[in-house]
Amino acid sequence: MATPGTFSDPAIGDLDKDLELALEEGHDADRPYNRVSRTPEDKEAQDENAELSSADQNLVWWDEPADQDPNNPMNWSSTRKYGTIAILSFITFITPLASSFFAPAVPLVMKDFNNNNQLLAEFVVSVYILGFAIGPLIIAPLSELYGRAPLYVSCNVLFVIFSVACGLSTNMGMLIAFRFLLGCAGASPLTLGGGTIADMIAQERRGASMAVWAMGPLVGPVVGPVCGGYLSQAKGWRWIYWVLAIVSGAAAAIATVVLKESYPPVILGRKAKKLRKETGNPKFRSKLDNGLEAKELFKRAILRPTKMLFLSPIVAALCWYTAVSYGMLYLLFTTFTFVFEETYHFSTGTVGLTYIGTGVGMLLGLAILGNVSDRVLRKAKAAGKVLKPEMRIPLFITVPAGLCLPVGLFMYGWSTDKHVHWIVPLIGTAIIGIAMLSVFVSFPNFRAASRI
């Protein structure tokens, strides 16, 4: 047993030596001695470490353990996740539905407004897609400031308003203007949907969810003319917009209740704001907060994708290919009414059924590509490989799908020009549908995977 004033443990003996040095330097023996701060340099390092430690404590993150925090979208229940995807898919179905729902009724509109300009007849359908291109330039930056849920709700409300405005149009110019604004508001689920799914679903299990969501912008334009043809024939073209207003209004009400915020920077930002209010400590901030003001963040959100579009070759290639493919799809849709009425003598209602061929092709593509996409990533993960965004666009998917587009377009164009039986051009549209689904499953998955 050690006697008073001595130390039996070598480590404690070291403390004794430090204490003697402290007394020689004038340290008060009655005060506890901190052996780390004997020199000015050590004291500065200690103060800096203390400041860093304090700053870390002010950073707001998910509650530990992070994989069990119910506020983290990745930890939401399966019911909540797939309920969100279900309503999101429904909204993403409605807005593209409006793009072609109107197509079979164009001859009725031209007759109603005493206009026979063929170019204007095609433009009144495709101007909606121009809104799809312009809308995301505003919607995407706003979502980074205020989150995804408020944008879904507000754009749904605007969609209802502009649907009613289209139905009340009294001339072609008014109809074109409101269809453009309708497209801008309808771009919300297409712009934010992939990001919402990426917020909730793990990367290796995201393919099937993305495939279901991607069916909206593809099946919507197919189902729309089928319904729109018979509806406009029975009730007139304005009823197309009354139905859109009713359905989108119901979707807006459901979305307001069901959709919760899933964007992590916004969720953590709200949590930090709550802590600042409750504790009175103004230093609390989100760990994902980059410190930018709203104006600068909005500016960066617009400039960043623009730079990627022009400075990143792979992003530019995918964007341009998607744009051309989707443009061809709508160019194809605008020809159905005139081709099948004039060449094959279909009625206005029957013309709507010709869009089913494209839908059948999309369903076939969904059955194949939705499962293959996830299987590729699960296999790579099981092999211990690092999951990369480009795994979502393997050559054995993109090359055959890419070839399907020109083959289908050639079959459709050649057969209608030669007046071959109507089933041949419809088979061509089915092949185009397979190509289009591969674009809208693989490429959005690539972009969403790039966020991880």
Given a cut of 70, is residue 33 above it in pLDDT?
A: no
The pLDDT-based confidence of 32 (bands split at 50, 70, 90) is: very low
| Neighbouring-strand partners of residue 286 | 60
Write down all domains in the chain, each with its CATH number in brackets. 18-55 (no CATH), 76-262+312-449 (1.20.1250.20)
Task: Return the pLDDT at 392.
Answer: 63
Its pTM stands at: 0.71
**Structure tokens of 268?**
């953590």
Given a cut of 50, is residue 13 above it in pLDDT?
A: no
Element at 59 (helix H, strand E): strand 59-60
Given a cut of 80, is residue 377 above it in pLDDT?
A: no
Task: Return the pLDDT at 389.
Answer: 64
Q: Which of 148-157, 200-209, 399-408 has the highest mean pLDDT?
A: 148-157
Task: Return the pLDDT at 181.
Answer: 94
Given a cut of 90, is residue 435 above it in pLDDT?
A: no
Collapse the DSSP code of 285 into the 3-class scheme (helix H, G, I; strand E, B; otherwise coil) and give the result. Answer: strand
Mean pLDDT over 113-119 rounds to 84
Task: Return the pLDDT at 341.
Answer: 84
Collapse the DSSP code of 422 into the 3-class scheme (helix H, G, I; strand E, B; otherwise coil) and give the result. Answer: coil
Average pLDDT over the chain reads: 78
Given a cut of 50, is residue 119 above it in pLDDT?
A: yes
**Structure tokens of 99?**
């793009």
Given a cut of 90, is residue 386 above it in pLDDT?
A: no
* pLDDT tens, residue by residue, 258-306: 888 998 888 888 888 888 888 888 888 888 877 777 778 778 877 887 8
Least confident of 80-84, 292-296, 444-448: 444-448
Largest pairwise CA distance in the chain: 113
Task: Return the pLDDT at 359.
Answer: 81
CA distance 226 to 346: 13
CA distance 193 to 447: 12
Least confident of 84-88, 186-190, 217-221, 238-242: 217-221
Given a cut of 60, is residue 182 above it in pLDDT?
A: yes
Given a cut of 70, is residue 15 above it in pLDDT?
A: no
Collapse the DSSP code of 345 into the 3-class scheme (helix H, G, I; strand E, B; otherwise coil) and give the result. Answer: coil
Q: Which amino acid is at 84?
A: T
- Return the residue matching tokens 């419809």: 426
Given a cut of 70, is residue 248 above it in pLDDT?
A: yes
C-alpha separations of 71 from 63, 124, 264, 287, 416 in Å: 9, 44, 9, 15, 55
Collapse the DSSP code of 321 into the 3-class scheme (helix H, G, I; strand E, B; otherwise coil) and give the result. Answer: helix
- The answer, yes or no, to whether the previous bond of 400 is cis (omega within 30 of 0) is no
Task: Return the pLDDT at 390.
Answer: 66
Task: Return the pLDDT at 409.
Answer: 92
**Structure tokens of 343?**
């060449």
Residues of the chain with pLDDT > 90, as a percent, come to: 15
Residues 125, 130, 135, CA angle at the centre, nearest 5°?
130
Q: Which of 296, 189, 167, 153 is nearest to 239 (CA)?
A: 167
